[in-house]
Amino acid sequence: MWNDPINTLDGKPTTLASFQGKALMLVNVASKCGLTPQYEQLEAIQKQYEAKGFTVVGFPCNQFNGQEPGSPEEIREFCSTTYGVTFPMMEKIEVNGDGRHPIYQELTKIKDAGGHDGDIRWNFEKFVVSADGQHVTRFDPKTKPDDPKVIAAIEAALPK
């Protein structure tokens, strides 16, 4: 997962290894979803915890009712203008099916608190990864980024 190549929304090649040593929240995002207002909470926790070694990483995905149809420029414009997003955004990827990105091939093996593993269920499914990369906690799409369970997972994942 750490070394799987991916491009940023700007088309620059990178890997998750560039974030090693930080706690991460990996989340598949969409601009035209009922859960899209979660961007506001994602940005709030980005600002609250970034100085402590944390970042949100967004993965736009158009696999759920075509709710992320935009080009990279349109996605960037929407996120920055509507929600003031400052956290890193990756290129649009597939999180399910034959074209599932290798990062999500790894993430979908993880069970959430309800025992769900496998396919991503909808936009805004969240994975909190500890700074040492050893622990990943999965949260369903409707669990808000500022839910006390998510905040507890973030705080436990921060660099020691």
Residues with catalytic annotation?
A: 33
The CA distance from 67 to 56, in Å, is: 20
Provide the 10 A C-beta neighbour count for residue 19: 20
Q: Are the CB atoms for 31 and 75 separated by under 8 Å? A: yes
Which tokens in the block code for residue 67? 């709710």
Supply the DSSP string of 111-153, one letter for each residue: -BTT---SS--STT-EEEE-TTS--EEEE-TTS-TTSHHHHHH
The CA distance from 141 to 33, in Å, is: 11
The amino acid occupying position 84 is G
3-class secondary structure, 87: coil
